[in-house]
């Protein structure tokens, strides 16, 4: 499903939630492709490949929801919703990353809306966002969705009150996300059973 008719986006990919285990390599490879500046902004200075690989693996096992922007089967942007259990103050935290090739297309806004819809569906009341102090694009995006960021220890951090979000838009986004998830599962099952049939010679021959 293309998002060419969604507000301001000019990208040609799809946006959907990744399955935590099976699609771990898609998130990992996306994070490893981030350029040096993007890595620094996303991980607050931690840029080692081994760190990123461990981080992606942790996301696959701790209940983090990953909403991805995908072009031709490759994740070019990701929004992360980390469960409150992972936070010392029991507040769910969100994070975003978009590769340079997918920027200035509205991808960040789409991911933000989808993530807020997911958070509302889970019953969260507030979200925390933290980004590098020099990441002006992410700070502007966070402000657009109501976050009031403050500077501290080289980072910008703030909260988003979900009660103040546009509820009709969130509801519509949540419905779209559910439909996309169902379609993704159907496609995966179809491909899986097709592979098994071919392996055992049960497929139709030309």
Model confidence at 125, in pLDDT bands (50, 70, 90)? very high
CA dist 57 to 50, 87, 91, 157, Å? Answer: 11, 18, 21, 25
Question: Pick from 149, 126, 128, 127: which is nearest to 137 by CA?
Answer: 149
Does the pLDDT of residue 34 top 90, yes or no? yes
Give percent of the chain with pLDDT exceeding 70: 74
Does the pLDDT of residue 172 top 50, yes or no? no
Strand 93-98 vs strand 126-132: parallel, antiparallel, or unpaired? parallel
Domain locations in the chain? 14-199
pTM of the model: 0.72
**80 or 145: which carries more pLDDT confidence?**
80
**153 or 52: which carries more pLDDT confidence?**
52
pLDDT recorded at residue 11: 58
Report the mean per-residue pLDDT for the chain: 78
**pLDDT of 176-200, one tens digit each?**
444 444 444 444 445 444 544 454 4
pLDDT recorded at residue 41: 83
**pLDDT of 60-93, one tens digit each?**
899 999 999 999 999 999 999 999 987 778 889 9
Does the pLDDT of residue 47 top 90, yes or no? no
DSSP label at 58? H
Q: In the CATH hierarchy, which fold is given to the domain comprising 14-199?
A: Aminopeptidase (3.40.630)
Strand 74-82 vs strand 93-98: parallel, antiparallel, or unpaired? antiparallel
Distance CA 198, CA 202 (A): 6
The tokens 């070019």 sit on which residue?
Answer: 76
**pLDDT of 128-142, one tens digit each?**
988 877 778 888 888
CA dist 187 to 23, 66, 182, 184, 193, Å? Answer: 14, 19, 9, 5, 10
pLDDT recorded at residue 10: 58
């Amino acid at each position: 499903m293309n998002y060419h008719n969604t507000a301001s986006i000019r990208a040609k990919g799809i946006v959907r939630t990744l399955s935590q285990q099976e699609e771990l390599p898609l998130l990992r490879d996306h994070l490893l492709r981030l350029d040096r500046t993007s890595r620094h902004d996303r991980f607050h200075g931690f840029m080692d490949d081994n760190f990123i690989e461990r981080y992606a693996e942790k996301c696959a096992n701790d209940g983090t929801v990953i909403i991805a922007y995908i072009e031709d089967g490759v994740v070019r942007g990701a929004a992360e919703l980390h469960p409150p259990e992972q936070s010392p103050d029991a507040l769910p935290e969100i994070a975003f990353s978009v590769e340079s090739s997918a920027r200035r297309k509205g991808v960040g806004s789409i991911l933000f809306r989808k993530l807020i819809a997911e958070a509302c569906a889970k019953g969260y009341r507030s979200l925390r966002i933290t980004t590098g102090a020099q990441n002006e694009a992410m700070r502007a995006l966070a402000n657009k969705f109501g976050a009031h960021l403050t500077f501290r220890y080289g980072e910008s951090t703030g909260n988003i009150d979900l009660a103040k979000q546009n509820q009709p838009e969130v509801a519509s986004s949540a419905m779209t996300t559910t439909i996309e998830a169902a379609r993704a599962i159907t496609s995966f099952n179809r491909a899986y059973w097709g592979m098994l049939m071919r392996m055992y010679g049960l497929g139709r021959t030309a």
